[in-house]
Structure 1
Amino acid sequence: MAKIIASPSRYIQGKGELKNIRTHVEKLGTKWFILTSPSGKKRVEPAIGQSLSGSECTAVYEDFNGECCDSEIGRITEVYQRSGCDVVIGIGGGKIHDTAKAVAHGVGAPVVIVPTIASTDAPCSALSVIYTDDGVFDRYLFLPASPNIVLVDTDIVAAAPARLLISGMGDALATYFEARACRDSDAGNCVGGKTTLAAMQLARLCYDTLLADGFQAALAVENHVCTKAVEKVIEANTYLSGIGFESGGLAGAHAIHNGLTAIEQTHKLYHGEKVAFGTLVQLVLEDAAIEELEEVLDFCMSVGLPTTLADLGIEQVEPEKIMEVARLACADTDTLHNMPFEVNADMVYAAIMGADALGKAYKDE
């Protein structure tokens, strides 16, 4: 199997860059179908309107209903087909991005992703995570190409609640460890190939950037400013993690996240918050060196990412429910089987409980 790395055709990041969106997107189409939330529309419409002023480009906005599921993808596809538009633009968070990518793929249109938060690594990937209408993980939809353009206005991203940037750090935290596991097991990545040297280096740079700048970035956004540390972490959360996970591969951390969606109490948590705990579970499953575990625990606690089941909202631990998480994580179609050793539900159950115990012990120190 060949080694393959994938990326958006163009990644653009800068302060106030949304005001320049027309110069980037008009090459793809002039009739824009913009999928966003009502609150997202309020945040971005003035800048987009300013960019469109005096041009031949027009925009049609459509409200996102909140879940990246088959029914919502189908609904939006029908609206798009009636709109007469020629390019799909997804503006918002990860579920909007994934829905926009799925719709664009279905109708054969170019797609532009504009994150208003840096809470996941979804923007750059050729992948949509599909959930049920009730928010339970269903499947991965692998797409033939990454987005045509990813445009990040760091002023907008930095103005979002700090918890969202921190959640993105949780998602990005898994990138290096999952890519490492896939490399060690010689597993395939998310684009039908094997891990490249470039993907591994981007994944490692992602981790190193979080350790170097994550705490400073969290403090900055909590105080509503965009510093150089924030700019670096936005790039790590969005681009380095996006390329690193897709071209490096997924393994235990995201499978644990998918299993956790079976517990209703976790639905109020963001994707990256659950992935952060999944990273600890993967490291326990691997019997990682205590120095590495402590480094990850230190980082999570410094920025406020979950390190225990209680942090995920699971105050009363019921063994049968944790076993359900373990079984779902071990589904034949999930990525836990990319680990460099055979894994079963009993092992995952033990690793979840072990990670929880480590988190509790670390908090008590």
Structure 2
Amino acid sequence: MGTKVMISPSKYVQGAGALAEIGAQAKHLGKKAFVIGGKRAMSTSKGIVEESFKKEGIEAIFEHFNGECCDPEINRLKKIAEDNAIEFVVAVGGGKVIDTAKAIAAMMGKPVVIVPTIAATDAPCSALSVIYTEDGVFDRYFVLPKNPDLVLVDTSIIAKAPVRFLVSGMGDALATWFEADSCFRSSAKNLPGGYSTATALSLARLCYDILMEYGKMAKLSVEKGVASPAVEKVVEANTLLSGIGFESSGLAAAHAIHDGFTILEETHSVYHGEKVSFGTLVHIVLEDRSWEQIEEVMNFCVEVGLPITLKQIGVVDPTPEKIMKVAEKTCEPGMLIHNMPFEVTPKMLFDAIFAADAIGTNYLKERGMEV
């Protein structure tokens, strides 16, 4: 095997109330910040960020994010940043604003600070932006020259966000170990273009183990709006461990299947991690993993509220034509499905999607749950 490469953010800070430290943590990056975020994220954090920056003599320019990580929005915000001669970029919010800020910072050659207000994806730590069309259809991956300079996670803010976000993050993180393991077995290269280190593989496995042990407790805590020790562990799994795990070990079927499903408009209201959760079930069915493993994944998903059927990701009428379109999109050249340790054809994937849906549907029926 060739050279191993592992990448990670320069600094990761996590804890209840950590946002108040942003000025002290970011002051070495410059004296003029461009802060972008959605309306909800800005409403909960703008005052704290402003005050913290003021203490360190940092000027902040705030701009609302329009909701989609697409080329027109990236270019609009980049122009504002350039016109104001900013020295570093700050993203406050969820995965799409984070990916937008990372893209802007990379294009401008400036540092970037990430402040996730939800733990719904592993976007905060990565050197990758997922670019969509203005209509929300997956377009491409934009691989960035480096990871964020600072990732600052305030768990008291995350614990007050709707619980669905944390659960969606668990769905995204659930795929990390299976994809890392598949990439290792196929000798697929990771995002920085090397092979996985033992460290990255171990972190991917730790991510899975934390979810299994603490996922339900974390969900119950966030339903009450509190940042318990279980929440701290799961936020770290969703954000840091999943981030390093996917990026330094690789992505495969679960995320490729997510990207394929974006061509069906009915899935657009379903969160990234929710689609990845179903994609993970398809992934392990495709790999012919043991029934014990499949059952453990389904148990976890049902316990925390993640999808295990097509209906649960919005595909109420899964015609063969629709699912074949998804399978063909997923198997296009350059898609992540080709990191699997065997060749995957659209027909194989078509079969695995329907098989996973049947297994998930049967599992719910046997437990008297709504199908």
**C-alpha displacement of 1:55:** 3.5
Which of structure 1's runs of 4+ aligned residues deviate more than 4 A?
Answer: none
Residue identity matched to 2:189:
G
- 1:253 corresponds in structure 2 to 254
**C-alpha displacement of 1:144:** 1.2
TM-score by length of 1: 0.99
SS of residue in 2 equivalent to 1:130: strand
Q: Which digits, 9 at most, give the CA deviation of each residue in 1:3-57, with x for residues without a partner?
A: 0000000000011011111001110011010010122111101211221334421
Whole-angstrom distance in 2 between the partners of 1:65 and 1:261 = 20
**C-alpha displacement of 1:226:** 1.3
Residue identity matched to 2:14:
Q
- 1:172 corresponds in structure 2 to 173
SS of residue in 2 equivalent to 1:141: strand
- 1:70 corresponds in structure 2 to 71
Pair 1:326-2:337 in alignment: no
Whole-angstrom distance in 2 between the partners of 1:333 and 1:307 = 27
- 1:25 corresponds in structure 2 to 26
Whole-angstrom distance in 2 between the partners of 1:165 and 1:76 = 28
Judged with a 3 Å threshold, the aligned counterparts in structure 2 of structure 1 residues 54 and 242 are, in CA distance, closer, same or farther, namely closer
Q: Which of 198-207 and 137-146 deviates more?
A: 137-146
Q: Which digits, 9 at most, give the CA deviation of each residue in 1:217-243, with x for residues without a partner?
A: 111111211110001000000000000
- 1:359 corresponds in structure 2 to 360
Task: Tell me if structure 1 keeps the 8 A contact 2:117–2:154.
Answer: yes
Q: Which digits, 9 at most, give the CA deviation of each residue in 1:147-174, with x for residues without a partner?
A: 0000000101111000000000000000
TM-score by length of 2: 0.97
- 1:345 corresponds in structure 2 to 346
Q: Which digits, 9 at most, give the CA deviation of each residue in 1:186-214, with x for residues without a partner?
A: 00001110011000000000000000000
Whole-angstrom distance in 2 between the partners of 1:80 and 1:266 = 33
Question: After superposition, where does 1:54-133 map in structure 2 within 5 Å?
Answer: 54-133=55-134
Pair 1:191-2:192 in alignment: yes
SS of residue in 1 equivalent to 2:299: helix
Pair 1:286-2:298 in alignment: no
Whole-angstrom distance in 2 between the partners of 1:121 and 1:247 = 13
Judged with a 3 Å threshold, the aligned counterparts in structure 2 of structure 1 residues 312 and 54 are, in CA distance, closer, same or farther, namely closer
Task: Tell me if structure 1 keeps the 8 A contact 2:23–2:55.
Answer: no
SS of residue in 1 equivalent to 2:29: coil
Whole-angstrom distance in 2 between the partners of 1:182 and 1:229 = 29
Judged with a 3 Å threshold, the aligned counterparts in structure 2 of structure 1 residues 352 and 60 are, in CA distance, closer, same or farther, namely same
- 1:160 corresponds in structure 2 to 161
Residue identity matched to 1:144:
P
Unaligned runs of at least 5 residues, structure 2: 367-371
**C-alpha displacement of 1:313:** 1.3
SS of residue in 2 equivalent to 1:359: helix
Whole-angstrom distance in 2 between the partners of 1:39 and 1:160 = 10
- 1:2 corresponds in structure 2 to 3
Whole-angstrom distance in 1 between the partners of 2:319 and 2:93 = 35
Equivalent pairs counted in the alignment come to 365
Whole-angstrom distance in 2 between the partners of 1:325 and 1:174 = 19
Residue identity matched to 1:107:
M
Q: Which of 204-213 and 29-38 deviates more?
A: 29-38
Whole-angstrom distance in 1 between the partners of 2:187 and 2:85 = 45
Task: Tell me if structure 1 keeps the 8 A contact 2:121–2:168.
Answer: yes
- 2:369 corresponds in structure 1 to none
Whole-angstrom distance in 2 between the partners of 1:170 and 1:25 = 31
SS of residue in 2 equivalent to 1:205: helix
Whole-angstrom distance in 1 between the partners of 2:39 and 2:60 = 15
Q: Which digits, 9 at most, give the CA deviation of each residue in 1:297-340, with x for residues without a partner?
A: 00000000000001011111111011111011111111000000
SS of residue in 2 equivalent to 1:60: strand
Unaligned runs of at least 5 residues, structure 1: none
Task: Tell me if structure 1 keeps the 8 A contact 2:27–2:56.
Answer: no
Question: After superposition, where does 1:207-286 map in structure 2 within 5 Å?
Answer: 207-286=208-287
Q: Which of 174-183 and 71-80 deviates more?
A: 71-80
SS of residue in 2 equivalent to 1:114: strand
Judged with a 3 Å threshold, the aligned counterparts in structure 2 of structure 1 residues 363 and 54 are, in CA distance, closer, same or farther, namely closer
Task: Tell me if structure 1 keeps the 8 A contact 2:68–2:134.
Answer: yes
Identical counterparts, % of pairs:
54
- 2:136 corresponds in structure 1 to 135
